Amino acid sequence: MTKTLLEIYHAAVGAVEGRAAVRQHLQQRGLHGPLTMIAIGKAAASMAQGAVDVLRDQIEIGLVITKHGHADPALPYETIEAGHPSPDAGSLHAGQRLLELIEATPPGQPFLFLISGGASALVEVLPQGMDLSQLQRATDWLLGSGLDIQQMNRVRKGLSLIKGGRLAERLVGHPVTSLMISDVPADEISAIGS
């Protein structure tokens, strides 16, 4: 019985492991031409490895944003480590680099976004008049509030210049493919990464 339970557990974990899941998806539905890859979340490095396994020569520009201690030095792309569950200065740096990279990407070049749990804290661009300490206080309050993830994300979207679809506005004119590992109930797409 224990052996069977362990086999089931390992099969379940393997099915959602970032590298394997991304690799399998891209092998079935590949992307064509040069592209820009952005990986954000606690599984960002693993997911980026899956993309490299399939699209290695197609990835012209890459950015990996992940939690402190989750980077993979084998990845040949700029990697930024940031705070989770509470954002830190790395989160704001990651947000700025993300916007700079989008702005520098040639018009029409496709983007591949790889998003996993933790993205809301790991990358942020604040509205004018708000600073990191205010964001951290708001985040700490949200984490201790008892609100569910959808309610928390409604607040996060109001404190951000990229959440709630605002990042998509900056990608107009670029084909975008997003692969996401859900960490929210019912896998609601709009709730993943706020």
Contact 177, 112 (CB under 8 A): yes
Q: What is the pLDDT of residues 14-29, one digit of tens each?
A: 777 899 999 999 999 9
141, pLDDT greater than 90: yes
Tell me, yes or no, if the pTM score tops 0.85: yes
Q: How confident is the model at residue 193 (pLDDT cuts 50, 70, 90)?
A: low
59: β partners: 35
pLDDT of residue 3: 85
Task: Compute the distance between CA of residue 51 and CA of residue 69 in angstroms, rounded to an integer.
Answer: 21
191, pLDDT greater than 70: no
- Average confidence score pLDDT of the chain: 91
Q: Which distant-in-sequence residues (6+ apart) come within 8 Å of 157 by Cβ? A: 163, 164, 194
What secondary structure letter does DSSP report for 21? Answer: H
Q: What is the pLDDT of residues 49-63, one digit of tens each?
A: 999 999 999 999 999
